[in-house]
Amino acid sequence: MSLRFREILSSGEFVITSEIGPPKGTNLAPMLHHIELLKDKVHALNVTDHQSSVMRFPSLGGAMLIREKGGEPILQMTCRDRNRLALQADLLLAYSRGIRNVLCLTGDSVVVGDHKEAKGVFDLDSSQLLMAVRSLEQGKDLGGNELDGKPEFCAGAIVTPEARPLEPQLIKFEKKIQAGAEFFQTQAIYDLENFERFMDYARPFGVKILAGIILLTSWRMAEYMNKNVPGVYVPQHLIQELKEAPKGEALGVGIQIAGRMIKTLKEKRLCHGVHIMAIGREELVPEILQAAGLDGTGG
Amino acid sequence: MIRSITKQKSLEEILSLLEGMERVFILGCGTCVTLCRTGGAPEVEDMTKKLRENGRIIMGSMVIPVACDEISHEALEQMRDPLSQSQGILIMTCAFGVQTIGRQVQIPAIPALDTLFIGKERGIGQFEEVCTQCGDCILGETGGICPVTSCHKGLLNGPCGGTKDGKCEIDAQKDCAWTLIYERLKAQGRLDRMRRLQPAKNYQVSPKPGRILIPVEERGE
């Protein structure tokens, strides 16, 4: 990958990102396989940070591996597990190892994960982590102390276009921009009309928006998300489409739905790109790209 | 009035803490723990029964009016004899009471309760935390609703992505503090307050452990 992510974002090209979930343990083979499979098919790869508060191999380790393999990592960083010293230190380490992109997240609550008795840190929130990134770039840490050598990052955050109520999330979206976010990955979207309305609101802010695409694997999964995942609403007609799939072909229909959405988003230029989350089914990302009429962005 | 909100430890843990102590004195308190039903007269009576069933000899018991008050030593004085014959005192009060009493007796003070938070009784049997005494009050920016206390993550800049229909990620029964703040500020026409970017919180204003000495002249003495 010759271009860095920020250059791609500003190139006007429709941006494709995806993500890698690190292993629970030291067996890196499946993650390495996914990195090799995807690094030249998408513009950048997120590495999740103890997703859903489940302890895993760290996102920083995954991002370093992507770098070693010649891919472009986006380091996901949550505020759940580290205080401001540890977060800033990890940003310095990331920069020193060639990582230039960071996605700043508050992080899920500890109690949704697999270490329910742990202490949730939240010394900073996502906006304040963005401020920390920008402060380090100015050569000062959050304590106001001078740095000997400063990092530089393309910093992003997330936004939930389908949140209910929506306005509090939009206020936060604007604060994240004020704090220094240049790009946003959205929570999964399925209703393109709603998303178009969100984009009408978001476009004037001048930040890059990557629509979140979560692969639907069955109608049950869609209904589960509707019931349990904040800010995700799969419309009834998509659930029906999955239900009508011949036995054993629901996953294929899910891939077609994801591909179709990406295609529409790209053709209508509704946003600047997509972020594909296959959650445990990373090997299917090339098929989604194919269904979208994109057979890998190449380098 | 704010209260110290407590819950009783399991009998198993209490018995483990009382290991090696055969003769025990039990102390309850007439204030917060009576309200919470964790250390009032009925609970002290119940504990007496349970400890007897587990082979303990209860040398005496009492429900002190306010265990965290310094005058508690006068009440303890009346119990000097049974206390002197006990090997431990099981204290069914909040941690303030345990520490106050613990300083005044020679025998080990054993807590029977866990102190959860400082809160208010909203309705019968309904207790809510209202302030975490963080030392850097943000209520003026948040419509009088405290996100440090009422947001599960203590966030200062608005709701996290885990909120759903105005409820919290960790509990569908719990209101999202930031949705409440948003609604109140909106009703007051003060959403501009929510739009202000709050910098990282200063935790140094509330030194741990908290300790303040007001100079004599300022006390007006």
Q: What are phi and psi of B86, to 5 degrees?
A: -90, 155
B87 burial class (0-12, 13-18, 19+ CB within 10 angstroms)?
middle
The per-residue pLDDT for range B100-119, each reduced to its tens digit, is 999 999 999 999 999 999 99
**Identity of the residue in A171, A179, A230 whose CB atom sits nearest the CB atom of B162:** A230
> Picking from A128-137, A267-276, B38-47, B204-213, which range would have the lowest pLDDT averaged per residue?
B204-213
* A158 neighbourhood in chain B, CB within 8 Å: 161
**By three-state DSSP, how is residue B125 classified?**
coil
Residue B196: the pLDDT is: 97
* B200 neighbourhood in chain A, CB within 8 Å: 84, 123-124, 128, 131-132, 142
Is the pLDDT assigned to residue B208 strictly greater than 80? no
A 136-155: CB under 8 A from B:
142
Q: Can you tell me the mean pLDDT for A4-29? A: 97
Percent of chain B with pLDDT over 90: 80
Q: Can you tell me the mean pLDDT for B202-221? A: 76
Residue A297: the pLDDT is: 54
Q: Can you tell me the mean pLDDT for A63-91? A: 98
Residue B219: the pLDDT is: 67
| B38 has a chain A CB within 8 A of its CB | no
The per-residue pLDDT for range B166-188, each reduced to its tens digit, is 999 999 999 999 999 999 999 99
Please indicate whether, in this complex, the C-beta atoms of A187 and B161 are within 8 angstroms of each other: yes
Residue A113 to residue A151: CA distance in whole angstroms: 32
Please indicate whether, in this complex, the C-beta atoms of A169 and B182 are within 8 angstroms of each other: no
The H or E element that residue B109 is part of is strand B109-111
C-alpha A239: how far from chain center: 24
Please indicate whether, in this complex, the C-beta atoms of B158 and A179 are within 8 angstroms of each other: no
Is the pLDDT assigned to residue B221 strictly greater than 70? no
| A39 has a chain B CB within 8 A of its CB | no
Please indicate whether, in this complex, the C-beta atoms of B163 and A230 are within 8 angstroms of each other: yes
* A124 neighbourhood in chain B, CB within 8 Å: 200
Please indicate whether, in this complex, the C-beta atoms of A168 and B178 are within 8 angstroms of each other: yes
Domains of chain A (ranges; CATH) run 5-217+269-285 (3.20.20.220)
Residue A182: the pLDDT is: 98
> Picking from A154-158, A203-207, B189-193, B203-207, which range would have the lowest pLDDT averaged per residue?
B203-207
| B23 has a chain A CB within 8 A of its CB | no
Please indicate whether, in this complex, the C-beta atoms of B154 and A84 are within 8 angstroms of each other: no
| B172 has a chain A CB within 8 A of its CB | no
Contact B79, B99 (CB under 8 A): no
The ipTM (two decimal places) reads: 0.94
Tokens 């719990």 belong to residue = B174
- pTM of the predicted structure, to 2 decimals: 0.93
Domains of chain B (ranges; CATH) run 3-116 (3.40.50.2300), 131-195 (no CATH)
Who's near A174: CB < 8 A, 6+ residues apart? A205, B195
* B161 neighbourhood in chain A, CB within 8 Å: 106, 158, 160, 163, 169, 187, 230-231
B 174-203: CB under 8 A from A:
178-179, 182, 186, 191, 194-195, 197-201, 203
Structure token digits, residue A214: 């979560």
* B160 neighbourhood in chain A, CB within 8 Å: 106, 125-126
The H or E element that residue A38 is part of is helix A29-38
Q: How confident is the prediction for chain A on average, in pLDDT?
A: 96
| A299 has a chain B CB within 8 A of its CB | no
Contact A172, B157 (CB under 8 A): yes
Q: Can you tell me the mean pLDDT for A50-59? A: 97
* A179 neighbourhood in chain B, CB within 8 Å: 197
